[in-house]
Every structure is written in structure tokens, then in C-alpha cells.
Amino acid sequence: MDAIQAFHQFFDHCVGSWSTERTYHYLTHQEVERSHTEFAIHPLSSDQKAKVLSDNAYPAEQNLDPLPGFHLAFETVSEQGEQVGHALNMLFVTQKEEAGTLVGDYLRDRAYEESKPMIAQFRFTPATCELLMTTTYTRIISVDSIILVNPRLRIRRILNYHRPADGEPLRDIALAGFGVEQKIDPA
């Protein structure tokens, strides 16, 4: 199976309903929080994909069918009982393949940290079935990893770094999150 086929298979397995248990470590104030999230992922239509491109002022694609695009909606309840919900549309546009790894842009119509359209970068490694997404926000850089262990189990890692000065490496972590995501309902 080539890298593009593995990429599409990764997303085919991600479509459906999932249940997640996460732990967040806030390093800025030495707090640990646990949460439970229920979320659903559904494919986007070509019109919805075109809108995500347009919302991000991204060049229009001739054929949107091969681009993986999804609607994600979730509800999270923290151990303190706080509830947060979010919904967004996302699209993955592969730019190139480097040594069997796909690299490209990850577009959202509404980002997590800042509620506006956002273009981030992704890297997909078929050998480990890992999708790594890096988003540069105003104050942080979020590095989010999803490893598909099997079609019903994903491992999630979220590292939010304080945004360094231009040209400086990522060094100071503000938040580290870890999660186990189990599929509860296939699409």
C-alpha cells in the first residue's frame, strides 16, 4: 500500500463516533486535569470542502474528491464538571511526499485555540500510522499527534509550546495532553 492509500485508509478508520479519556498537564501552574470527550467525525461534501478552502483564502483545487475532509463535533466534560463543545470542518491538502511520509496543509474553518479559519501543517507517516499536526497560534504552537493503533483505537498526544521568537526552536511546554480514544460506533 502506498502512502496516499494508507493516508485515506487512516481517515476511513477515523470516521464514526469515539469516546476519549484524556489527561492534561498544565505546566504553567502545575495542575493535572482529567476529562471525558465524546466526538463524531463525518466526511465533508465537495461544497463543504470548497468552503473550507474559501474560508482560508486557499487556492481552489480542480478536483476536491481526493482531498480528505471531515466535520468534527465534540463535547467534553472535565472532572470538575465543566462542559465544552466545539464543531469544525477540516481539510487535508497533501503538498509532497518525503521518503514515504506525506506532508501538507491542514485547514480548518474554525480552529481550537483561536476561533477563526486556520491553516496548519501536517505530516503523515504510514509506517507508524501517525498523523502529526502543527498549528502556529498567536501565543502558542500546538503539536498534536494521533496514532491509529487499530481501526477502533487511537492514541493522542497534544503538546502546546509557548511560541518562541521567530527562528528559535520549540522549548517551553505550557500544556501536555494524553488520551486514549476508542471507537464506539462506526460511521
Query: E strands, the chain, where?
Result: 16-26, 31-43, 69-78, 83-98, 101-108, 118-125, 130-136, 140-150, 153-162, 173-186
pLDDT 10s digits, 104-113: 999 999 987 8
**What's the predicted TM-score (pTM) here?**
0.94
pLDDT 10s digits, 88-106: 999 999 999 999 999 999 9
Residues 177, 156: contact at Cβ < 8 Å?
yes
Domains of the chain (ranges; CATH) run 3-186 (2.40.128.20)
pLDDT 10s digits, 116-146: 999 999 999 999 999 999 999 999 999 999 9
Q: Name the CA radius of gyration of the chain, rounded.
A: 16
Alpha-helix runs per DSSP H in 107-177: none
